């Protein structure tokens, strides 16, 4: 019995051919593979990014970390406490402005009050939960308004300057020991003839609004 060997040849034209090695070559029998029934094998590449985290990289990051003393910017000092004492008549324990950090002559001022546990109102307000009294926040804001009003651009007088009234005051959040109260007072309307000024005030701790209101100031003439 003759041995019958066969091989499968795949022609470039995608035809599958069966050929006998012991028989004369004859026209091959082709089995066409139509596009509709062909199976294509494709290798899909995926763009996978590999993130390598090593101890060396973490050490480099730690070395590049900004020192704590340089991480937070200090408030600028447009007017220090000595200059404030020259403008305002208030003294301890009722001087509630520590520094002016922004000033526009005849328009507005921004100042800060550092609220500390050593403030004399905390033992009574409240012993178990130290909260800055709302009336003192309003007073501090009025003193910032006084810094605007007691300047040559406005013509106020230290000896006859009064806090005349408040309106639409709202307390949004409590201010506690350790906070820095940032107060902005803006002159809205000034009637020099009558010695009356209207101001708008807002106070912040960080990005949070803690107090706002409208202030009425009264000015007099030196005798």
pLDDT, residue 152, reads 75
Cross-strand bridge partners of residue 167: 214
Q: How confident is the model at residue 21 (pLDDT cuts 50, 70, 90)?
A: very low
* Beta strands, E only, the chain: 6-10, 16-20, 99-104, 108-114, 161-171, 180-191, 196-205, 208-219
Q: Is the pLDDT of residue 180 over 70?
A: yes
φ, ψ of residue 146 in degrees (nearest 5): -65, -35
Domain residue ranges of the chain, discontinuous segments joined by +: 78-219
Average pLDDT rounded to a whole number, residues 9-27:
46
Q: Which CATH class is domain 78-219?
A: alpha beta
More reliable by pLDDT, 74 or 161? 74
Do 53 and 62 form a contact (C-beta atoms < 8 A)? no
Q: What is the pLDDT of residue 4?
A: 47
User: Per-residue pLDDT tens for 79-135?
Assistant: 999 999 999 999 999 999 999 999 998 899 999 999 999 999 999 999 899 999 999
Residues catalogued as catalytic: 125
């Amino acid at each position: 019995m003759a041995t019958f060997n066969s091989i499968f040849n795949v022609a470039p034209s995608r035809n599958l051919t069966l050929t006998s090695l012991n028989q004369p070559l004859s026209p091959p029998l082709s089995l066409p593979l139509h596009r509709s029934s062909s199976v294509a094998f494709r290798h899909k590449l995926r763009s996978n990014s590999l993130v390598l985290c090593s101890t060396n990289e973490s050490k480099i990051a730690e070395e590049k970390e900004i020192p704590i003393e340089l991480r937070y910017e200090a408030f600028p000092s447009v007017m220090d406490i000595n200059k404030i004492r020259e403008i305002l008549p208030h003294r301890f324990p009722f001087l509630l402005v520590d520094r002016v950090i922004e000033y526009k002559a005849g328009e507005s001022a921004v100042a800060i009050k550092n609220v500390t546990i050593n403030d004399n109102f905390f033992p009574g307000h409240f012993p178990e939960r130290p909260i800055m009294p709302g009336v003192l926040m309003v007073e501090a804001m009025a003193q910032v308004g006084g810094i605007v009003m007691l300047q040559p651009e406005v013509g106020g007088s230290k000896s006859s300057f009064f806090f005349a009234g408040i309106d639409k005051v709202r307390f949004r959040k409590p201010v506690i020991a350790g906070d820095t109260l940032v107060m902005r007072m803006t002159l809205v309307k000034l009637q020099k003839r009558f010695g009356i000024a209207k101001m708008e005030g807002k106070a912040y701790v960080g990005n949070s609004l803690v107090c706002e209101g409208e202030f009425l100031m009264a000015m007099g003439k030196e005798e």
